Chain A
Amino acid sequence: NAGVTQTPKFRVLKTGQSMTLLCAQDMNHEYMYWYRQDPGMGLRLIHYSVGEGTTAKGEVPDGYNVSRLKKQNFLLGLESAAPSQTSVYFCASTVQGPNEKLFFGSGTQLSVL
């Protein structure tokens, strides 16, 4: 059981370049999330999805777009990367309930030069 898989694991971009981060889960979870992790700031929610074909903005959505065309996949796009987007990105999924448990991927380390 792979759980939550993120690709790529590392990426270096130049300012203005675009890229897509892929998240795939094999647990049939309805809810999926994209977080960014920065030193001293914890994990901040970028976008999330409550089901196939639905997406919503989180706390820090500017500069990012997402799509959930298939239930198992959640894509995070950067159309024009900026140095402020240098971060570690985590995808997570869950079945929401009273005692929910988020399952996280291993992260993507992105550097924007």
Chain B
Amino acid sequence: QQQVKQSPQSLIVQKGGISIINCAYENTAFDYFPWYQQFPGKGPALLIAIRPDVSEKKEGRFTISFNKSAKQFSLHIMDSQPGDSATYFCAARRLMDTGRRALTFGSGTRLQVQP
């Protein structure tokens, strides 16, 4: 059961363009929404994150937009560069049966930025 749905599966953008990746969720108990970036042969690394009481967070060229009522959030990469070519995962943190929290990840988006 996919609790966090991510789209598109792959994305090709020209250098300097805007990359947009979308995620949707159903569980309103999620309390934290990070995005992870993964380069080939490496583990994912935290890129940027947002809490549900904030509608937007910006760090450099990366922005998360969060729509709590629609249960959607998206990653925007401005002025996309070839070095941004990677796989991006959205995630949401939920409460497990043990009372502890863990991340549920989306299916990933493979971004290719063409020079």
Q: Is B102 an interface residue (CB 8 A)?
A: yes
Residue of A nearest to B9 (CB): A40
Could you tell me which A residues sit within 8 Å of B by CB distance?
A: 4, 31, 33, 35, 40-45, 48, 50, 56, 58-59, 90, 92, 96, 98-102, 104-107
Which of B13-21, B58-66, B93-101 lies on the face that meets chain A? B93-101
Residue of B nearest to A9 (CB): B41
Q: How many B residues face the partner with a CB closer than 8 A?
A: 28
CB distance from A21 to the nearest CB of B (A): 14
A106 touches B43 (CB 8 A): yes
Interface string of B82-115 (1 = CB under 8 A from A): 0000000100010011101111111110000000
Partner of B44 from A43, A98, A100 at Cβ < 8 Å? A43
A33-B102, A42-B108 given; A106·B42 CB < 8 A: yes
| Number of A-B residue pairs having CB atoms within 8 Å of each other in the complex | 64
Interface string of B25-45 (1 = CB under 8 A from A): 000000010101000011111
A40-B9, A43-B105, A48-B102 given; A56·B45 CB < 8 A: no
Q: Once the chains are docked, how many angstroms separate the CA of A92 from the CA of B43?
A: 9
B32 touches A90 (CB 8 A): no
